[in-house]
Every structure is written in structure tokens, then in C-alpha cells.
């Protein structure tokens, strides 16, 4: 049903890869930590209708690995097509022999569309579960925040028209991305695109939850809590300071450390300062997602494809942390919850 190849099957390929790729290369370390065959199992039903006749297709885990590399190195699908053919470390990681040519960019696009948002979210969740099983993600304290991703559109005309409309409800009828919306980073700064709502596990600095919405959605409506593995405590900025959110945390017996607005009767400057200081962890993670892995701008048009981009980007940063713990580069959180190492 799928093409099968393994560089270990040929003496020549094995010899070249061993000589060129150092043992401490990140992709070697990652391969030692994660068996990516779980991808084949997770998406098997997406291929149930595929005929056994004709040429076999590319194995899902290979295509997933190529997309992973694209987001790891912030490459387009056309660029990663070339890189997989020329970069020996990439070729080895995917599971191609030295002489073997990888799939083209259109195959990657078809694979992405075949799986869809739900399946990429399941793959993200599976990796989070792996981290929980290893006790890397402790769920002791989650930090909730959002960051924005700019739509892949020309903003000059949109901004001019937007100034004449209601900023909260404006929909540009001529935008190539009809799902994107105007939102605000602050009273002075706006954007056109999407919001990535993130729940970050403080001890591991791994993303435990992720949701993507149009840019005009309020942060307060997206206090991410995994009902199957709720954290002991949650902290978030003042945008989440609503009666509904406080009641929800109380009902679920989750420690409530949402920063309070000054008009609250129980407002405490000292407590706000204490919990605000912890936010540097998620601010650093947002910077990593956007500056190193391309989440600052949409690769594609539309909400669903932007969700796929966000899940793949989150998978990349989570697996980077996974390797650090699994390889002993950092002490796992269950040994020392206060021992951290750089996120990148």
C-alpha cells in the first residue's frame, strides 16, 4: 500500500549517513526518542479507500516527517522538497536511501488536505500524551495566553477600508482570506488575521493545549482547560479576568491565579506582580513559535489551514523540549520542577 524504504537496508546508504551525520545531531536524537510509526496508526482510516492497485503511495509517517522538517527550519513546502533531496540529515530522518528522491510539494499538500485539522490536532495531542507518560508535562501550573498570526493578505487596502467600519465586526468582502478578522494587540496596535490561544505547562515549557480563532475573538472566551487532564493551577493575564472564568476554575477546583483588574475588591498589586513575572516563560515560547518557526504569518489562506499550521508549529517546539529531557540535556520536571533550560 505504501512505499517502503529504509537507509539501513543498504550498506552504501548506511555508510554515507554514518560518516556525514554526527550522533549528537538533533534529528538523530529525536529519532532515538520518538517512534514515528504512531503517525501511520493514527491516520490509517484516512487511507481506507485507497486502492491496493497501482503504484504504492508515500508512507504517512514519511510525509509527516517532511512537514515537521519544514516547520522546524521554517521552509516552504517547495523549499523542503528540495532540501529533502539535497540535505543528507533531512533525507536520513525521513527514511530515504541516499539515491532515493523524496515526494514533491504537491504530494505534501495533498497529504495535509487528506488529514485535515482534526487529524493534526490528534497528532499534537498524542505527542502531549507521550510527554505526560514520561512525566515531562506535569500539569502543575498552566500559563494561558494568546498570540497573533497575520493573515496572508495585502493589508494596505484592508486597513484603509477598516478605519471606516466597526472594528469588532468588520469583514472584508474582497479579502482572499474570508476567515481572517481584525483584532487588537493593544489599544494602539491592531492586526488582521488569527489568534493562537495557548496553554503552556510551566514546568516543562511544553504546549499542553492550543486553539486557533479569528483575530476578533476575545481572549476571555478561551481559557483553555483540558478536561481529561486539568492542571492543578492556572495563571493568565487581565484579559481573562471575568466572573465566568473565576467561577469555572472554582467549580473545577483549579487554583486561580488570573491577574486581577484594579477595580476588583480583592485586587493585590503584590500578587499581580508575582504571577505576572511567571508570564516571561510563555512570552518566550510565543517568540520561539513566531520568530524561529514562522507562526508570525499564515502560510495558507483560511482558518482550517491556519489551524494545521499552528498544530504543526506546536508539535515542533514540543518535540524540541522532549528531546532535551529525554537526552538528559535538561533535568525532567519531575526531578526538579524549578530547573529550566533555554526553550530553543
Least confident range of 20-24, 48-52, 94-98, 243-247:
48-52
pLDDT at 31 over 80: yes
pLDDT at 97 over 80: yes
Residue linked to cell 504530494: 107
Which pLDDT belongs to residue 11? 55
The 3-state DSSP class for residue 125 equals: helix
Which pLDDT belongs to residue 167? 53
pLDDT at 304 over 70: yes
Give dist(CA 111, CA 88) in Å, integer: 23
Angle at 144 between CA 142 and CA 145, to 5 degrees: 150
For residue 267, name the pLDDT band (cuts at 50, 70, 90). Answer: confident
Give dist(CA 255, CA 263) in Å, integer: 21
For residue 171, name the pLDDT band (cuts at 50, 70, 90). Answer: low
Which pLDDT belongs to residue 7? 46
Which pLDDT belongs to residue 338? 41
Show the cell assigned to 189. 496596535
Show the cell assigned to 168. 469588532
Which pLDDT belongs to residue 214? 96
Which pLDDT belongs to residue 172? 60
Angle at 304 between CA 298 and CA 309, to 5 degrees: 45
Which pLDDT belongs to residue 286? 96
Across the range 74-102, mean pLDDT stands at: 95
Domains of the chain: residue spans and CATH: 7-124 (no CATH), 138-299 (3.30.420.10)
Show the cell assigned to 182. 481584525
Q: What is the mean pLDDT of the chain?
A: 88
Give the count of beta carbons closer than 10 Å to the beta carbon of residue 227. Answer: 6
pLDDT at 2 over 80: no
For residue 124, name the pLDDT band (cuts at 50, 70, 90). Answer: very high
For residue 253, name the pLDDT band (cuts at 50, 70, 90). Answer: very high
Across the range 172-182, mean pLDDT stands at: 82
Give the percent of the chain with pLDDT over 70: 85
Whether the full predicted model's pTM is greater than 0.85, yes or no, is yes
Q: How far is Cα of residue 261 from the mean position of the Cα atoms in its chain?
A: 30
Residue 165 to residues 173, 184, 342, Cα–Cα distance (Å) = 12, 15, 44
- DSSP string covering 70-102: HHHTT--HHHHHHHHHH-HHHHHHHT--TT---
Which pLDDT belongs to residue 57? 80
DSSP summary character for residue 258:
E
Closest CA to 226 of 137, 292, 298, 161: 137
Q: Are 128 and 318 in contact (CB under 8 A)?
A: yes
Residue range 107-122, pLDDT digits in tens: 999 999 999 999 999 9
Residue range 195-242, pLDDT digits in tens: 999 999 999 999 999 999 999 999 999 999 999 999 999 999 999 999
pLDDT at 52 over 80: no
Give dist(CA 45, CA 61) in Å, integer: 14
pLDDT at 50 over 70: no
Amino acid at each position: 500500500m505504501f512505499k517502503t524504504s529504509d537507509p539501513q537496508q543498504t550498506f552504501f546508504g548506511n555508510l554515507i549517513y554514518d560518516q556525514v551525520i554526527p550522533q549528537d545531531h538533533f534529528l538523530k536524537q529525536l529519532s532515538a526518542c520518538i517512534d514515528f510509526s504512531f503517525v501511520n496508526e493514527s491516520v490509517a482510516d484516512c487511507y481506507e479507500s485507497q486502492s491496493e492497485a497501482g503504484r504504492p503511495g508515500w508512507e504517512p509517517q514519511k510525509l509527516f516527517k517532511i512537514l515537521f522538517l519544514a516547520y522546524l527550519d521554517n521552509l516552504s513546502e517547495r523549499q523542503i522538497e528540495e532540501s529533502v533531496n539535497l540535505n543528507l540529515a533531512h533525507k536520513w530522518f525521513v527514511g530515504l536511501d541516499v539515491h532515493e528522491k523524496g515526494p514533491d510539494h504537491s504530494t505534501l499538500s495533498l497529504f495535509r488536505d487528506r488529514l485535515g485539522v482534526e487529524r493534526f490536532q490528534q497528532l499534537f495531542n498524542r505527542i502531549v500524551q507521550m510527554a505526560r507518560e514520561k512525566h515531562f508535562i506535569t500539569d502543575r501550573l498552566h500559563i494561558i495566553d494568546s498570540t497573533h498570526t497575520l493573515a496572508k493578505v495585502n493589508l494596505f487596502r484592508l486597513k484603509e477600508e477598516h478605519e471606516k467600519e466597526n472594528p469588532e465586526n468588520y469583514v472584508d468582502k474582497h479579502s482572499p482570506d474570508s476567515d481572517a478578522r481584525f483584532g487588537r494587540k493593544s489599544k494602539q496596535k491592531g492586526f488582521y488575521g488569527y489568534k493562537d490561544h495557548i496553554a503552556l505547562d510551566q514546568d516543562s515549557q511544553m504546549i499542553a493545549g492550543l486553539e486557533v480563532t479569528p483575530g476578533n475573538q476575545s481572549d476571555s472566551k478561551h481559557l483553555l482547560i483540558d478536561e481529561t487532564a486539568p492542571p492543578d493551577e492556572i495563571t493568565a493575564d487581565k484579559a481573562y479576568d471575568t466572573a465566568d472564568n473565576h467561577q469555572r476554575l472554582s467549580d473545577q477546583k483549579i487554583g486561580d491565579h488570573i491577574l486581577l483588574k484594579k477595580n476588583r475588591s480583592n485586587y493585590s498589586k503584590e500578587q499581580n506582580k508575582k504571577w505576572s513575572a511567571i508570564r516571561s516563560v510563555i512570552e518566550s515560547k510565543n517568540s520561539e513559535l513566531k520568530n524561529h518557526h514562522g507562526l508570525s504569518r499564515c502560510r495558507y489562506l483560511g482558518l482550517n489551514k491556519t489551524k494545521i499550521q499552528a498544530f504543526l508549529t506546536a508539535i515542533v517546539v514540543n518535540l524540541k523540549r522532549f528531546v532535551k529531557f529525554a537526552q538528559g540535556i535538561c533535568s525532567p520536571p519531575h526531578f526538579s520542577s524549578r530547573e529550566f533550560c533555554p526553550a530553543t
